[in-house]
Structures are given as structure tokens and as C-alpha cells.
């Protein structure tokens, strides 16, 4: 298949690497004026598709550029800090066609997303990958064995089965929650609880180090669980039935002290989970999700003392 990726970011390039390795043609859509694009990227991948502990792999990714008026089977769009409109404007300006796969954090209502996307065919998904790209175009990334994907009925795209074929060809499974948008809200709320706890002293300039310290501290993880319980109230306040997401929320239902101990053991024994926690270093993007949850909680008038206390220090 022909797959386009908006930009040369970590998420899109990680999946493009997996698709290219399995025989698909991958191309990158770049903004006008973007220069110094490499012909190939060096990839270090912790691959979780075949071994749940992860396999360290080295490879090269060949970079090809998309041109105006081209057509693709799918276009992967992964943008930080809610910058979806600008991303889709680039695709429209270049008159590039294809089904959009939205790999983004959304705090929007579905009607807001539909208004931004307009007449472009799209499906909401969520990646389980992460990493860091340095200035020398070396990609250090993690790839899990699945993605989260909107159901066929809610997506309403004509080539849904083709997307499943594309993912399966790269040994990427699909997990389909009750509602993809609600799942993303829950994911953002959980991340906000974790991030606010990691930065509870008011400093968040070094997220990698904060993540390492949090993962090794059962007491801090206990506080994170308590904060997550608060932030989930924000999602519930938006009308989401949390009972429909029992599997996702089970770790936060058990006693907080026990949850903290179990989470510490998980991070110490699972390199995939711990590494993805430390590779995301975009402070603005991290804070975007936290601020969305914070502002919504204030708007709803919710009492979230632990979360607000930590966030107030960070925002100050």
C-alpha cells in the first residue's frame, strides 16, 4: 500500500519504518520551505511486537517525499499540542488525497473534531509507540504490538478492512474500545495525574529524569494513583461512563499503596513500558494534556486537591 506521513516526527516515522520493512511504500508530507531533509534515518528500535520484553534492533529508514496532488491509501497524522487544524491545512493546500488516520491527543468533543477535519475521510486511532529524534536524524523509538482503533461502525470509512490489512501485515494488532474519543480523554487524564505527580515540586524541565525518579519510587506512584483517581472525575464529568472502560482503569481501582508497589515492579521488569515513559521529552506537548484536564476540572468546579496542588506549582 501507499502510506503518507505528515512530517518527520517520531510517531509517524516509527510506524512508517515498520510499514516500509514489510513492503509498503511510505512518503512524508512536509510543509513548504522545510529544508535539510535526510535521505535516510538511523533507527534504534525496542520492538515489542514479537517479545513482550522487547527486542533491540538497528535499522535504516529510507525517506521519500510526497508531492502535490498525489493519492495514498492512508495518511498518518500525529501532531503535538492540539495543532490538528494547521496539519490538515497542509494536506489540503497540497491537494493530497487519502484516508486520514488521526494519531493525536484530543480534548475536543467529536463535533469539534468533525468540524476541523471537514470533508476529509478520517478515523481516530491512538499509537502505542514513542521515542526521540535527535538533530542528527537518529531515531530512538519503542513500538508495542498493538494500536487503539476506532470501531468500523463509528469510523465510517470505506477502506476500513484495508487499514486492518496494513496493520496486520506489520504485525500490529488492534484493540477497539467502546469509544475512541472517550478513551483518549481517559488516557489524557491518566497522563495528567502521572505528570503532575512527577512534577510535584514545580519543576518539569527534565521530563526524562522525572519519569525515571517516579518509576523507581513506590510512594510517589501511590500519589500518582490518587491523583489519577481525581483526574478521572474530570472525564466522568464530561458524561463518560467509566464503567465501559473497566480493563483500562482496573490498576487504579485497587488500594493506592498496593498499586504503587505493583507499578514499581512493572516498570523495573518491563523495559518496553519504562522506556516509553522516558523517551517523550516535549515539555510543551506534555503540559498541553495536563492543562486541558486542569482547565476542564476548574470549569466543572470539581474538588481535585492533590492534582490542583501539584499543577499550580508546575504552572507557577
Contact assessment for residue 242 and residue 235, using Cβ atoms and an 8 Å cutoff: yes
Buried b (16+ CB within 10 A) or exposed e, 8-34: bbbbbbbbbbbbbeeebebbbbbeeee
Taking residues 310-316, what's their average pLDDT? 93
**pLDDT reported for residue 202:** 85
How far lies 294's CA from each of 28, 185, 226, 297, 316, in Å?
35, 13, 15, 5, 14
pLDDT exceeds 80 at position 130: yes
Indicate the pLDDT class of residue 285, thresholds 50, 70 and 90.
Answer: confident
Residue 279 has pLDDT above 80, yes or no: no
Q: Walk across the sheet containing 129-133 and list its strands.
A: 55-62, 40-47, 138-143, 129-133
pLDDT, mean over the chain: 93
pLDDT digits over 29-52, tens only? 998 777 788 999 999 999 999 998
Residue 44 φ/ψ, nearest 5 degrees:
-115, 115
Pick the closest to residue 94 from 117, 116, 69 (CA basis): 69
pLDDT digits (tens, 9 = 90+) for 92-125: 999 999 999 999 888 999 999 999 999 999 999 9
By CB neighbour count within 10 A (0-12 exposed, 13-18 middle, 19+ buried), where does 183 fall? buried
Contact 22, 107 (CB under 8 A): no
How does pLDDT run across 222-240, given as a tens digit for each residue?
A: 999 999 999 999 999 999 9
Q: How far is CA 277 from CA 104, 258, 300, in A?
A: 17, 21, 30
pLDDT single digits (tens) 181-199? 999 999 999 999 999 999 9
Domains of the chain with CATH codes: 2-176 (3.40.50.720), 182-315 (no CATH)
C-alpha of 232 from chain center: 18
Are 110 and 181 a contacting pair, CB within 8 Å?
A: yes
Q: What secondary structure letter does DSSP report for 127?
A: -
pLDDT value at residue 31: 83
Tell which phi-psi region holds residue 82, choosing left (phi > 0), alpha (psi between -120 and 50) or beta.
Answer: left
pLDDT at residue number 54: 92
Q: Cell digits for 247?
A: 480493563
Cα(105)–Cα(288) distance, integer angstroms: 9
Helices 283-300 + 218-237 axis angle, to 10: 50
pLDDT of residue 260: 92
pLDDT of residue 156: 86
Confidence band for 53, pLDDT divided at 50, 70 and 90: confident
For 20-35, the pLDDT digits (tens) are 999 999 999 998 777 7
Q: Do 46 and 56 form a contact (C-beta atoms < 8 A)?
A: yes
Which residues fall within 8 angstroms of residue 2, CB to CB, at 6 or more apart?
24, 25, 27, 71, 72, 73, 98
Q: pLDDT value at position 181?
A: 95
Q: Which pLDDT belongs to residue 210?
A: 87
Give yes or no for a contact between 197 and 225, defined as CB atoms under 8 angstroms apart.
Answer: no
Of 81-85, 114-118, 208-212, the poorest mean pLDDT is in 81-85
Q: Cell 472502560 identifies what position?
A: 245
* pLDDT digit string, tens, across residues 65-82: 999 999 999 999 998 867
Q: Are 127 and 147 in contact (CB under 8 A)?
A: yes
- Across 146-158, average pLDDT: 95
Provide the pLDDT confidence category of residue 280 given band limits of 50, 70 and 90.
Answer: confident
Amino acid at each position: 500500500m501507499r502510506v503518507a506521513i505528515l512530517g518527520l516526527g517520531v510517531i509517524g516515522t516509527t510506524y512508517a519504518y515498520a510499514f516500509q520493512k514489510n513492503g509498503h511504500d511510505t512518503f512524508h508530507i512536509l510543509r513548504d520551505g522545510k529544508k535539510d531533509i535526510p535521505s535516510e534515518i538511523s533507527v534504534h528500535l525496542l520492538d515489542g511486537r514479537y517479545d513482550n520484553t522487547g527486542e533491540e534492533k538497528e535499522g535504516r529508514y529510507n525517506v521519500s517525499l510526497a508531492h502535490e496532488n498525489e493519492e495514498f491509501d492512508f495518511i498518518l497524522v500525529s501532531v503535538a499540542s492540539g495543532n490538528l487544524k494547521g496539519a490538515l491545512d497542509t494536506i489540503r493546500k497540497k491537494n493530497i488525497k487519502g484516508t486520514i488516520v488521526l494519531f493525536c491527543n484530543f480534548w475536543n468533543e467529536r463535533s469539534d473534531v468533525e468540524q476541523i477535519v471537514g470533508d476529509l475521510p478520517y478515523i481516530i486511532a491512538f499509537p502505542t509507540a514513542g521515542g526521540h529524534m535527535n538533530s542528527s536524524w537518529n531515531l530512538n523509538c519503542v513500538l508495542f504490538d498493538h494500536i487503539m482503533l476506532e470501531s468500523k461502525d463509528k469510523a465510517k470509512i470505506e477502506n476500513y478492512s484495508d487499514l486492518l490489512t496494513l496493520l496486520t501485515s506489520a504485525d500490529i494488532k488492534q484493540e477497539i474500545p467502546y469509544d475512541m474519543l472517550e478513551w483518549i480523554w481517559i488516557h489524557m487524564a491518566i497522563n495528567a495525574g502521572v505528570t503532575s505527580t512527577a512534577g510535584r515540586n514545580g519543576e518539569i524541565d527534565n521530563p526524562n529524569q522525572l519519569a525515571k525518579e517516579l518509576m523507581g519510587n513506590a510512594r510517589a506512584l501511590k500519589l500518582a494513583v490518587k491523583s489519577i483517581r481525581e483526574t478521572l472525575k474530570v472525564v466522568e464529568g464530561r458524561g463518560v461512563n467509566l464503567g465501559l472502560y473497566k480493563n483500562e482503569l482496573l490498576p487504579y481501582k485497587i488500594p493506592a499503596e498496593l498499586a504503587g508497589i505493583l507499578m514499581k515492579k512493572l516498570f523495573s521488569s518491563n523495559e518496553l513500558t519504562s522506556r516509553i515513559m522516558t523517551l517523550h521529552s516535549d515539555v510543551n506537548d506534555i503540559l498541553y494534556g495536563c492543562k486541558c484536564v486542569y482547565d476542564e476540572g476548574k470549569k466543572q468546579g470539581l474538588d481535585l486537591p492533590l492534582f490542583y496542588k501539584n499543577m499550580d506549582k508546575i504552572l507557577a
